[in-house]
């Protein structure tokens, strides 16, 4: 029984087979279960590509195996809590099949987001800010993206005329309702069930049916007539990409074990530290603790990308050097994040697929008030922890100020390479400090520690950004509202998913 074990880190509603490993390593059992599933998924992905390739197995069999493995991972990690995820998937399929096709996208959005929000509220109230062992909200968030993406693209394909769609929407449109096994496979496949990322239904079906790589090679050549030589070329292997991403994962894991665990976020609001440490010391610790918190996200997203690549999924095309790129569904650009010299650049390179989802289902479709509507959707999707909303609201004046300052002073520093380098260094430092200040509530979650932190920082970033935005606003009035979250990013860093632009996302 859970009451018999006082240490919450070793409790789980999922499998307890690996409890001895958890206790030996000192890691929470849910994290051990997650790692075991992802490593098993990596091995299964290689087997899936080599022995269940479209040449050796039918699409139906590939769908079935991917679905069964994904469902097994859910049950292993979350036990009976996995029923929440299965419930929303089956409920959405009933809507897809039975509802009026003219409104199917609306019904799916309301149902999926409503169920997610109820579960997020339950997570805050029942589990009191953080029993991670029963936190199934991560997979549910990814499932919500998939359900709504498919519903909107199905509406595009079955209700809208081609001339009413953008070129990208035409390529991604779905022209018939998916079968049950296709729908379950898309949502529950073992490649992305635990940590994503979300991808387009047409891309996933092409992968299962064996068209994923060949179609992109033809797009790269600029013709689809099959006479370009690519049909006779062996499919590029993802092995190099997988190995590179696994090396990044190893580096992130090593950094986590050595650095991250020694710089806990919660120490930023420790009463003794706040009361006795000088401001610069508190600022420095906040900066390095936030930097140290990123590698766990780098690890999870990069490993998920490697799993998909190992199965042969995620081929983007040939890059400018003629080498295969496997970054179609990459979720982050680490170099872009760590070298970002603006708030927007940082956001554009972080959680990329979520930015694409928000743009696809909301920003590109809202007839008016696109920016606030996308902001609201992003906030609801992330959850109901107050810290999330502190982060989103703090980002607004900071982004406005950064944009105004860039327009006002950047041109003065473009005269020489040395001056430009100095400007880039200063803006890099300012961006990283602003990110640190903005995302701290996202990790602290609750109101009280957030206010403790901001009081310890004297609300300096709020004050500076509001003053800067106000003073510079009249001189350089924006032509349109600036992005405050990744909801407004255009996915230029993410790559146009069906264009001939095959620049890599590193």
User: What amino acid positions are annotated as catalytic residues?
Assistant: 351, 382
DSSP string, 389-409: HHHHHHHHHHHHHHHHHHHHH
Residue with tokens 């020489």: 416
- Three-class DSSP category at 481: coil
Count the neighbouring beta carbons within 10 Å of the beta carbon of residue 344.
22
How far is Cα of residue 131 from the mean position of the Cα atoms in its chain?
22
- Three-class DSSP category at 457: coil
Q: Classify strands 324-325 and 317-318 as parallel, antiparallel or unpaired.
A: antiparallel
Rounded to whole angstroms, how far apart are CA atoms 5 and 344?
Answer: 45
Q: Are 137 and 120 in contact (CB under 8 A)?
A: yes
**φ, ψ for residue 350 (rounded to 5)?**
-115, 130
324: enclosing H helix or E strand: strand 324-325
- Three-class DSSP category at 440: helix
318: enclosing H helix or E strand: strand 317-318
Count the neighbouring beta carbons within 10 Å of the beta carbon of residue 247.
12
Beta strand extents in 242-331 (DSSP E only): 317-318, 324-325
Q: Are 14 and 76 in contact (CB under 8 A)?
A: yes
Q: For residue 394, count CB atoms less than 10 angstroms from its CB and return exposed for 0-12, middle for 13-18, buried for 19 or more.
A: buried
DSSP letter (8 states) at residue 191: T
Whole-number Cα distances in Å, 176 to 67, 159, 318: 21, 11, 30
The tokens of 221 are what? 């050549």
Burial 306-316 (b: 16+ CB within 10 A, else e): bbbbbbbbbbb
Residue with tokens 């609001």: 269
């Amino acid at each position: 029984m859970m009451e018999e074990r006082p240490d919450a880190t070793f409790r789980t509603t999922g499998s307890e087979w690996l409890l001895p490993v958890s206790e030996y390593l000192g890691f929470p059992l849910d994290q051990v279960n997650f790692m075991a599933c992802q490593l098993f998924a990596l091995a299964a992905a290689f087997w899936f590509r080599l022995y269940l390739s479209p040449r050796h197995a039918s699409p139906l069999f590939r769908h079935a195996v991917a679905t069964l493995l994904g469902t097994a991972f859910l049950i292993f990690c979350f036990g009976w809590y996995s029923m929440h995820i299965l419930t929303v998937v089956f409920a959405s399929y009933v809507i897809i099949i039975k509802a009026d096709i003219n409104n199917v996208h609306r019904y799916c959005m309301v149902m999926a987001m409503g169920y997610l929000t109820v579960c997020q509220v339950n997570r805050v109230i029942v589990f009191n800010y953080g029993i991670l062992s029963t936190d199934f909200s991560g997979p549910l968030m990814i499932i919500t993206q998939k359900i709504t993406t498919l519903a909107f693209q199905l509406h595009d394909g079955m209700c809208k005329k081609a001339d009413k769609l953008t070129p990208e929407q035409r390529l991604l449109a779905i022209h018939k309702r998916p079968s049950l096994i296709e729908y379950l496979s898309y949502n529950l496949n073992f490649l992305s069930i635990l940590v994503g990322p979300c991808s387009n239904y047409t891309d996933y079906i092409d992968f299962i049916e064996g068209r994923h790589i060949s179609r992109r090679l033809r797009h790269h050549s600029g013709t689809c007539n099959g006479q370009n030589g690519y049909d006779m070329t062996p499919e590029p292997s993802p092995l190099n990409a997988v190995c590179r991403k696994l090396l990044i994962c190893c580096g992130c894991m090593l950094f986590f074990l050595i650095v991250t665990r020694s710089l806990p976020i919660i120490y930023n609001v420790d009463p003794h530290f706040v009361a006795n440490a000088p401001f610069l010391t508190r600022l420095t610790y906040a900066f390095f603790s936030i930097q140290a918190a990123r590698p766990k996200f780098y690890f999870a997203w990069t490993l998920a990308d490697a799993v998909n690549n190992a199965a042969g999924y995620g081929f983007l095309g040939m890059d400018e050097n003629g080498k295969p790129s496997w970054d179609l569904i990459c979720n982050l650009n680490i170099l872009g994040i760590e070298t970002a010299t603006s708030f927007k650049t940082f956001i554009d390179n972080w959680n990329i697929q979520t930015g694409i989802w928000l743009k696809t289902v909301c920003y590109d479709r809202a007839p008016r008030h696109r920016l606030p509507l996308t902001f609201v959707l992003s906030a609801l999707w992330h959850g109901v922890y107050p810290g999330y909303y502190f982060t989103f609201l703090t980002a607004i004046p900071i982004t406005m100020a950064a944009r105004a300052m860039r327009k006002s002073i950047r041109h003065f520093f473009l005269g020489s390479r040395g001056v430009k380098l100095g400007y880039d260094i200063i803006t890099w430092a300012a961006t990283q400090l602003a990110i640190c200040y903005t995302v701290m509530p996202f990790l602290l979650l609750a109101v009280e520690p957030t206010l403790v932190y901001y009081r310890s920082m004297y609300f300096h970033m709020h004050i500076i950004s509001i003053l800067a935005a106000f003073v510079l606003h009249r001189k350089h009035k924006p032509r349109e509202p600036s992005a405050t979250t990744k909801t407004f990013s255009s996915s230029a860093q993410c790559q146009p998913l069906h264009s001939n632009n095959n620049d890599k996302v590193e």
